[in-house]
Structure 1
Amino acid sequence: MEAVEQTTHVWSKRTLKLSCIRTRGDVETPVIKTLDLLSTGYRRGGLLEEMLASSECPMSHLRAYKLIRLLNQAAHDPDVKHIFNTAIAKLFPRDLSKLIFHLDDVLGKR
């Protein structure tokens, strides 16, 4: 039986499941990476969902792992959560600048 790849990332009230591909040699295997939405405070309907909706799917499992790690670390910053949870139509350019600043700070603390 051949594995079926998901073509979209799946959101629920509790989790975000990223559809991924793990490549070893010439073999590609579908994998799911999960972000716990309850523990991070992220939710649907905001910038994060829009970004993921227009991102590659399936994505590299390594890229998904790094993204989930960044999102977990950034969830401790209320400004980051607020911006990621806000609909794009309600954001201003200064919000995106603020998001970049805060994410850069999160990455710098590694």
Structure 2
Amino acid sequence: MATEDIAITSAADAEPLAAQALRTYPLAPGHNVNVRSGPGTHYPIVRTLSAGSSIPIRCQCPGESVTGPYGTSTIWDNIANAQFVSDAYVKTGSDGYVAPRCS
């Protein structure tokens, strides 16, 4: 019976992580946003997201300061492997970190 209890507890513990991983945030309306290979404008553009897109934020890290529709920020959002968007273009509802820091 102890094994069943552990399995139930583990499944319950994993549920909030799965829900968190699926959360997306909208980009600023009217702005196409460049996705870069690192946390700064000197990194190459790997693709461009269309205005009105929503993105998942896997983790966040400090980087180059950028001014956008949501203020000036040094936070960069990692949306996929080696793909970063300035947080100044993402409506997170916060001026701070809303996801774990990238390692």
- The structure that is helix-richer by fraction is 1
The structure with the largest alpha-carbon Rg is: 2
TM-score, structure 2 normalization? 0.29
TM-score (norm 1): 0.28
Greater percentage in strand: 2
